[in-house]
């Protein structure tokens, strides 16, 4: 499979060069791109409504002033060579991708509902959607927690298991061969991290997973455009993994095994990614009940905030449980790093949405 240029060493080197030659030090790092949130603004108002889902406190603000943390993507530590690795190169690289992604998303506006057939557009969107799924505060917290748990349990203890090592290989785009288990294990254990500090390691790990695993995986999925007459939300975790009837809702699903991946691209448009051999059936539009279920799923998936048009207030009527920090019953490394959802332990978890596309007869 051809590697998308945005994932290559050449483009990353270009971003590093741009960063070295740029005297501007951007401190406000948006984990939800401004250009993406502006798709929920109107000509009459340049603001979006953002709501803290736990309190329902809501405000109208410009996308520039929300969904950011200062220096969130700065990769800096005393043991990092800042000439070889300029501290803001990843922020630069994401900004370059976002500039291109604004065009990619606009191109969707002129396309009809149904299957997305342009392979170049799919490959580019895979880069953007995968990046958005891995750049968020929840994902950063998850990477930091994994680092802590590795320190607790020991890397060799965790990885010296065929199932565990195969999972880690898949996450890093490495082909696992049981006959080479020991060789792969020793190679992994001998690899030096970018730093001894936790934040650079967490960012570097997310970059690797994005480049070598998730973006290539999304490229291989089938992509579909779906519309809705009722307005859609988005959130600070807008890549939403959806299961099928009978699958647990208590833990965040995995990219490789989830039947559907949802990504809102506007207040009335949704990207739906399916398994490569799973077509969607008509109609490629959501009725009011389906839109409501998708909005609930988006709200439940958020880390803290949901976003919508200024002239709507959908989030005011959505209630979801608080997000659990940890799994209180975890006893092993893999249980501890299995991210719980808001439905952990809930007796009132809703059914998965869009079951007309995930029922067994559709697979």
140-149: pLDDT as tens digits:
999 999 999 9
Residue 131 belongs to some domain of the structure: yes
DSSP state of 212: I
For residue 170, what pLDDT band results from cuts at 50, 70 and 90?
Answer: confident
Lowest-confidence pick of 272-276, 281-285, 358-362: 358-362
* Separation of alpha carbons 263 and 240, rounded Å: 6
Residue 235 has pLDDT above 50, yes or no: yes
* 110 in any annotated domain: yes
CB 291 within 8 A of CB 230: yes
pLDDT at 42: 86
Indicate whether 165 belongs to any domain: yes
- The answer as to whether 8 is a domain residue is no
When pLDDT is cut at 50, 70 and 90, the band that residue 272 belongs to is very high
pTM for this one?
Answer: 0.95
Residues 358 and 257 sit within 8 Å (Cβ to Cβ): no
Q: 314, exposed or middle or buried, with CB in 10 Å at 0-12, 13-18, 19+?
A: buried
d(CA 312, CA 231): 8
Average pLDDT over residues 331-348: 92
Band (359; pLDDT cuts 50, 70, 90): confident
**pLDDT given at position 303:** 97
Which is nearest to 226 in space by CA: 292, 288, 284, 291? Answer: 284
Instruction: Tell me what pLDDT residue 79 has.
Output: 97
Domain that holds residue 87: 24-362
Average pLDDT over residues 311-338: 91
What domain count does the chain have?
1
- What pLDDT shows up at residue 360? 55
The per-residue pLDDT for 327 is 79
Q: Residues 72-89: pLDDT tens digits? A: 999 999 999 999 999 999
- Confirm whether 11 is domain-assigned: no
pLDDT given for residue 361 in this prediction = 39
For the chain, give the mean pLDDT: 94
Tell me if 350 is assigned to some domain: yes
Average pLDDT (220-233) is 97
- Residue 213 is inside which H or E element, if any? none
Region 175-203: mean pLDDT is 95
Sheet holding 58-61, edge to edge: 58-61, 48-52, 305-309, 234-235
Q: What pLDDT shows up at residue 210?
A: 97
Average pLDDT over residues 292-304: 98
Give the pLDDT of residue 249: 95
Burial, 238: exposed, middle or buried (Cβ in 10 Å; 0-12, 13-18, 19+)? buried
Task: Please check whether residue 6 lies inside any domain of the structure.
Answer: no
- pLDDT of 40: 98
As a 3-state breakdown, the chain gives helix, strand, coil percent values, each rounded to 5, of: 45, 15, 40
Is a pLDDT exceeding 80 seen at residue 185? yes
Q: Which residues contact 62 (CB under 8 A, 6 or more apart)?
A: 46, 47
Which pLDDT value is given to residue 1? 67
- pLDDT value of residue 87: 97
Average pLDDT on 254-258 reads 94
Q: What is the model's pLDDT at position 363? A: 44
Sequence-distant (≥ 6) Cβ neighbours of residue 16 within 8 angstroms: 85, 86, 89, 92
pLDDT reading at 45 higher than 70: yes
Between 159-163, 167-171, 193-197, the lowest mean confidence (pLDDT) is in 167-171
């Amino acid at each position: 499979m051809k590697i998308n240029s945005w994932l290559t060493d050449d483009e990353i080197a270009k971003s590093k060069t741009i960063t070295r030659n740029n005297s501007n030090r951007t401190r406000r790092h948006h984990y939800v791109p401004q250009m993406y949130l502006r798709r929920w603004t109107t000509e009459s108002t340049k603001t979006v409504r953002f709501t803290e889902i736990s309190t329902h406190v809501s405000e109208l603000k410009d996308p520039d002033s929300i969904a950011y943390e200062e220096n969130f993507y700065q990769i800096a530590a005393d043991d990092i060579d800042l000439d070889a690795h300029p501290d803001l190169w990843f922020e630069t690289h994401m900004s370059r991708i976002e500039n291109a992604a604004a065009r990619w998303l606009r191109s969707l506006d002129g396309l009809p509902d149904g299957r997305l057939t342009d392979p170049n557009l799919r490959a580019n969107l895979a880069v953007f959607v995968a990046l958005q799924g891995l750049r968020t505060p929840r994902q950063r917290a998850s990477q930091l927690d994994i680092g802590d748990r590795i320190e607790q349990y020991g890397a060799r203890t965790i990885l010296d298991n065929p199932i565990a090592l195969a999972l880690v290989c898949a996450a890093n785009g490495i082909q696992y061969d049981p006959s080479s288990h020991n060789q792969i294990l020793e190679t992994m254990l001998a690899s030096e991290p970018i730093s001894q500090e936790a934040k650079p390691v967490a960012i570097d790990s997310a970059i690797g997973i994005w480049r070598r695993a998730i973006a290539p995986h999304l490229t291989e999925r089938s992509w579909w455009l779906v519309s809705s007459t009722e307005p859609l939300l988005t959130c600070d975790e807008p890549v939403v993994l959806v299961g099928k009837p009978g699958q647990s809702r208590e833990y965040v699903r995995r990219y490789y095994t989830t039947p559907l991946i949802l990504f809102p691209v506007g207040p009335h448009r949704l990207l739906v990614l399916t398994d490569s051999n799973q077509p969607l059936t008509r109609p490629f539009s959501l009725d009011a009940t389906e839109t409501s279920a998708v909005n609930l799923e988006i709200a439940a998936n958020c880390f803290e905030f949901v976003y919508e048009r200024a002239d709507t207030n959908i989030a005011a009527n959505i209630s979801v449980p608080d997000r659990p920090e940890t799994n209180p019953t975890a006893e092993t490394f893999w249980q501890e790093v299995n991210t719980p959802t808001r439905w952990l332990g809930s007796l009132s978890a809703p059914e998965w949405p869009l079951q007309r596309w995930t029922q067994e007869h559709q697979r």
